[in-house]
């Protein structure tokens, strides 16, 4: 039993502002919260305290000590209201919105957006979660778990450390996320206890995956954060989201339409359907995305760096090394944007499409029917499961559709070449970008007045698509038997020679090449 436990005598967490140490205390069984059962998955159970709110949740920012009941020592020992910036931070973290302008702003991945909980700002009076400052919390911040005890859900910031300016991506902002996580029922990821007496497993015990751990990076001793000034998590992270959804359900109405996500290469601000979500400090991007449905797109076409975009649940993407958070001691965050995990396998939260920039990009799809566009540069596109469309764009590209019936679109630019690694005859399709090949019509090759022949040389007039069965290469001859030379546009190295055949009908039996406008 620690000293604070003897003093407080009730379930709380105490977080040190400089060392990052916290202490967990036991909580009595109240009536307004409900227990949370174990899932059997330590990545989630490692964050479940076993306590959650059972109904609508209110939060407030008391300005006078008399708001608190008799016997709450924090209210009688150097009580102070939190700052306007802290109020705004809490509003955005919980609800993703505020009725007033100013202060730190991060409107996406709010608690109410990814769960089915109902959260209401109760102003400055009584509520379930009361947020204030007290000398009793020095030199730390701490919060109480959900409870029907008067202190249940209360969040306290110490007054000896300046928490009053929580810019997005700062320690102060991350502390607000962390303490609100406790007030909603999350425990520390690095500690045993909770519903299963487990910690988050080693390979995910870092701020990249949960704000509830004291490890900035995997393998660090939980003795204090070492992140750079603006290198802290900007939202709840994937394991936090999964644990809170286990307690409160998953919200599939958030961004449930066809949503386009973009980011600024110069400020790090995220844009959802062209609407800015708030500018983080230091041009850092360190966040997790939850999307409720629709056909969604990560659009990085404004980047010139070598991108790594991963659409898999629990995956992460890197846009620019300059925008990665420095976690300390030579450890850099493995990604800028992390994808939320699927809730009970529900595919609605998947991001379906990705658009690369002008660098040499690597893009990974997921189980959905993905549209992956490489753009300029020498790109590598991997579709995964699903009926995917892969468009490498200009440059020397590698395309791999994975499982499913995939469509490979060839750009047609003079410097465009695609190596199609897994073309399956009779299942996959190849298409031509109408503009890139200078064609005026769409439809089948016959409709677009494009010939299709085997061999390395065209024998007829007009634009011709050639397939050299011996070399498994696809060539384009813009004028058929005319003076222009056939140009190599794609190779199918893993296709068995002789497996393709040409049909005299409007389509090709094995190598079907419709002309599309992309």
Interior angle at CA 293, CA 107 and CA 402, nearest 5: 120
Distance CA 172, CA 248 (A): 26
| Domains held by the chain: number | 2
Whole-model pTM?
0.91
Q: Is the pLDDT of residue 11 over 70?
A: no
**Residue 410 in domain:** yes
Which among 434, 451, 461 is positioned nearest to 502, based on CA atoms?
Answer: 451
Q: Name the band, by pLDDT with cuts 50, 70 and 90, for residue 74.
A: very high
- Whether residue 210 is predicted with pLDDT greater than 80 in this model: the reply is yes
Closest CA to 416 of 377, 364, 465: 377
Residue-wise pLDDT tens digits, 62-71: 999 999 999 9
pLDDT at residue 33 in the model: 56
- Domain membership of residue 348 (yes or no) is no
Which of 20-29, 200-209, 220-229, 449-458 is predicted least confidently? 20-29
In this structure, are 236 and 381 located in the same domain? no
Q: Is the pLDDT of residue 142 over 60?
A: yes
Tokens 């007039």, residue located? 461
Q: State whether 392 and 243 are in the same domain.
A: no
pLDDT of residue 459: 83
**What pLDDT digit, counting tens, does each position of 229-275 carry?**
999 999 999 999 999 999 999 999 999 999 999 999 999 999 999 99
Q: Is residue 355 part of a domain?
A: no
Whether residue 489 is contained in a domain is answered as yes
Q: What is the tally of helices (H) and strands (E) in the chain?
A: 6, 32
Note whether residue 46 is domain-resident. Answer: yes
Which of 89, 112, 111, 93 is closest to 102 using CA atoms? 89
- In this structure, the answer to whether residues 65 and 206 fall within a common structural domain is yes
CA-CA distance, 53 to 79, in Å (whole number)? 26
Q: Which residue has the tokens 């299942």?
A: 427
C-alpha to C-alpha distance for 362 and 372, rounded to whole angstroms: 10
Q: Per-residue pLDDT tens for 170-198?
A: 999 999 999 999 999 999 999 999 999 99
Domain encompassing residue 471 = 369-516
The CATH number assigned to the domain holding 49 equals 3.40.390.10
- Write down which residue in 248, 275, 299 finishes a domain: 248
In the listed set 232, 248, 264, which residue is the last one of a domain according to the structure?
A: 248
Pair 244, 387 in one domain: no
| 452 has pLDDT over 90 | no
Mean pLDDT of 285-312: 99
Identify the band that residue 499 occupies on the pLDDT scale cut at 50, 70 and 90: low
Would you please indicate which residues are annotated as catalytic (active-site) residues?
A: 179
Tell me: do 238 and 382 sit in the same domain: no
Position 20 in a domain? yes
Which residues lie closer than 8 Å to 62 by C-beta, 6 or more apart?
68, 81, 124, 125, 130, 131, 132
Which position has the higher pLDDT, 153 or 9?
153
Residue 361 lies in a domain: no
pLDDT digits (tens, 9 = 90+) for 414-444: 889 999 999 988 788 888 888 888 888 778 7
- Among 14-18, 146-150, 274-278, 322-326, where is mean pLDDT lowest? 14-18
Which of residues 214, 248, 282 is at a domain's end?
248
What is the distance of C-alpha 26 from the center of its chain?
Answer: 34
**Eight-class DSSP state of 180:** H
The reply to whether 434 falls in a domain is yes
Q: Are 28 and 51 in contact (CB under 8 A)?
A: no
Q: What are phi and psi of 348, to 5 degrees?
A: -65, -25
**Mean pLDDT over all residues of the chain?**
89
Q: Are 190 and 197 in contact (CB under 8 A)?
A: no
- Report the relative pairing of strands 487-491 and 33-35 from DSSP bridges: unpaired
């Amino acid at each position: 039993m620690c000293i604070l436990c003897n003093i407080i005598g009730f379930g709380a967490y105490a977080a040190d502002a400089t060392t990052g140490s916290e202490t967990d205390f036991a909580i009595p069984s109240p009536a307004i919260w409900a227990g949370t059962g174990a899932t059997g998955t330590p990545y989630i159970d490692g964050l479940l305290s076993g306590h959650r709110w059972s109904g609508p949740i209110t939060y407030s920012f008391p300005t006078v000590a008399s708001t608190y009941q008799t016997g709450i020592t924090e209210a009688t020992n150097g009580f102070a209201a939190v700052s306007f910036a802290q109020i705004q931070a809490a509003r955005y973290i919980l609800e993703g919105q505020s009725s007033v302008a100013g202060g730190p702003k991060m409107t996406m991945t709010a608690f109410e957006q990814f769960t089915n909980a109902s959260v209401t700002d109760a102003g400055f009076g009584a509520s379930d979660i009361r947020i204030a400052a007290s000398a009793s919390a020095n030199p730390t911040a701490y919060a109480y778990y959900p409870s029907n005890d008067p202190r249940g859900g209360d969040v306290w910031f110490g007054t000896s450390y300046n928490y009053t300016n929580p810019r997005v991506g700062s320690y102060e902002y991350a502390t607000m996320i962390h303490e609100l996580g406790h007030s909603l029922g999350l425990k520390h990821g690095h500690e045993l206890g909770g519903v299963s007496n487990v910690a988050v497993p080693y390979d995910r015990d870092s701020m990249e995956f949960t704000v509830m751990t004291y490890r900035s990076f995997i393998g660090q001793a939980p003795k204090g954060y070492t992140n750079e000034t603006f290198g802290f998590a900007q939202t709840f992270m994937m394991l936090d989201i999964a644990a809170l959804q286990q307690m409160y359900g998953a919200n599939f109405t958030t961004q449930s339409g066809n949503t386009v996500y973009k980011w600024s290469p110069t400020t790090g601000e995220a844009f959802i359907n062209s609407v800015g979500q708030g500018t983080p400090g230091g041009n850092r991007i360190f966040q997790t995305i939850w999307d409720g449905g629709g056909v969604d797109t990560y659009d990085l076409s404004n980047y010139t760096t070598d991108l790594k975009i991963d659409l898999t649940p629990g995956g992460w993407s890197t846009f620019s090394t300059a925008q990665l958070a420095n976690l300390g001691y030579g450890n850099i965050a493995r990604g800028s944007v992390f994808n939320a995990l699927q809730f009970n396998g529900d595919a609605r939260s998947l991001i379906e499409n990705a658009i690369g920039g002008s660098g040499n990009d690597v893009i990974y799809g997921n189980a959905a029917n993905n549209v992956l566009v490489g753009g300029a540069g020498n790109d590598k596109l991997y579709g995964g499961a699903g009926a995917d469309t892969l468009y490498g764009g200009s440059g020397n590209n590698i395309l791999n559709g994975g499982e499913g019936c995939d469509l490979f679109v060839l750009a047609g630019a003079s410097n465009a070449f695609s190596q199609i690694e897994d073309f399956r005859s009779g299942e996959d399709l190849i298409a031509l970008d109408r503009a890139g090949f200078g064609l005026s019509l769409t439809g089948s090759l016959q409709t677009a007045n494009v010939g299709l022949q085997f061999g390395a040389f065209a024998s007829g007039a007009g634009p011709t698509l050639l397939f050299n069965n011996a070399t498994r290469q696809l060539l384009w001859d813009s004028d058929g038997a005319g003076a222009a030379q056939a140009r190599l546009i794609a190779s199918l190295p893993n296709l068995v020679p002789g497996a393709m055949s040409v049909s005299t009908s409007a389509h090709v039996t094995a190598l079907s090449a419709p002309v599309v406008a992309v």
